[in-house]
Amino acid sequence: GAVVSQHPSWVICKSGTSVKIECRSLDFQATTMFWYRQFPKQSLMLMATSNEGSKATYEQGVEKDKFLINHASLTLSTLTVTSAHPEDSSFYICSARTTSGRRDTQYFGPGTRLTVL
Amino acid sequence: AQSVSQHNHHVILSEAASLELGCNYSYGGTVNLFWYVQYPGQHLQLLLKYFSGDPLVKGIKGFEAEFIKSKFSFNLRKPSVQWSDTAEYFCAPLDTGRRALTFGSGTRLQVQP
């Protein structure tokens, strides 16, 4: 149990285009999902907290107009990188939080590698 | 704000050696602590977690960690590592206010056969 999927697993896009990444909790409901960014050989940096039915909470330094987050249901959160530029190239990872029977635990998706040309 | 420090950035061990990876966190209040592992090319997996009770917690694959409140530490241990333990290990305390994890810089473990 506690499986989180992400789609797509990788994407290559041209500079200036927008890219949408989906994060789904497959066997549990998640009122809260998190979006992280991981640079090569570095740790995960929290970008934002996605709350079902309300606005996301962004970490300091993360542009909310550039990284649009929508958490439309208890099993789906999306991250849209708008007007992507090469510096946005990174590995984006989501996690879904569960408190049902497993205490407060986050399960992670496999990540999405974004390359902006 | 919560902060976490992992002192060992890169550890190289031979198979059957014992492992201890350090983790220190800053928060002095109620703390929930996690260790995650990221095998090459794979996503983060939960190794073990501590919420309360017995400070020695056991996780998957023979790993364990000890919560020492007085030292603000949550070190990861394994008595005898295997080649398949080669991975990146992340310590992550939970910010109980924001309910978000703060990740350490990670420790890359390389086990030589």
pLDDT digits (tens, 9 = 90+) for B67-93: 999 999 999 999 999 999 999 999 999
Q: Which of B46, B102, B103 sits opposite A105 (nearest CB)?
A: B46
d(CA B47, CA B64): 9
Q: Which of B43, B46, B99 sits opposite A32 (nearest CB)?
A: B99
Range B33-48 average pLDDT: 92
Cβ within 8 Å of residue A82, ≥6 positions away: A18, A65, A66, A67, A68
Q: A25 with A43: CB under 8 angstroms? A: no
Residue pointed to by tokens 């929930």: B32
Q: How many CB atoms lie within 10 A of CB B77?
A: 14
| Closest listed residue to residue B91, CA positions, set B18, B32, B6 | B6
Backbone angles phi, psi at B44, to 5 degrees: -60, 135
Q: B108 with B51: CB under 8 angstroms? A: no
Q: B48 with B63: CB under 8 angstroms? A: yes
d(CA A8, CA A17): 16
The A residues from 35 to 64 touching B (CB cutoff 8 Å) are 36, 41-46, 49, 57
Q: Which whole-number Å values give the CA distances from A72 to A23, A30, A45, B12, in the listed order?
A: 11, 11, 23, 45
State which amino acid sits at residue A93: I
- Look at residue B60 and give its three-state secondary structure: helix
CB contact under 8 A, B100 and A34: yes
Share of chain A above pLDDT 70, in %: 97
Tokens at B64, concatenated: 């364990």
- Residues on chain A touching B44 (C-beta within 8 angstroms): 44, 93, 95, 108
CB contact under 8 A, A103 and B98: no
- Residues on chain A touching B7 (C-beta within 8 angstroms): none
CB contact under 8 A, A110 and B43: yes
d(CA A33, CA A52): 8
Chain A nearest C-alpha distance from B106 (Å): 6
- Residues on chain A touching B32 (C-beta within 8 angstroms): 103-104
For A16-30, write each residue's pLDDT tens digit: 999 999 999 998 888
Query: Which stretches of chain B sit within 8 Å of chain A by CB?
Result: 32, 34, 36, 42-46, 49, 51, 90, 94, 98-106, 108
- Residues on chain B touching A41 (C-beta within 8 angstroms): 108
Kindly tell me if the per-residue pLDDT of A99 is higher than 70. yes
- Look at residue A10 and give its three-state secondary structure: strand
pLDDT for the residue B3: 84
pLDDT for the residue A101: 59
Kindly tell me if the per-residue pLDDT of A102 is higher than 70. no
- Residues on chain B touching A97 (C-beta within 8 angstroms): 99
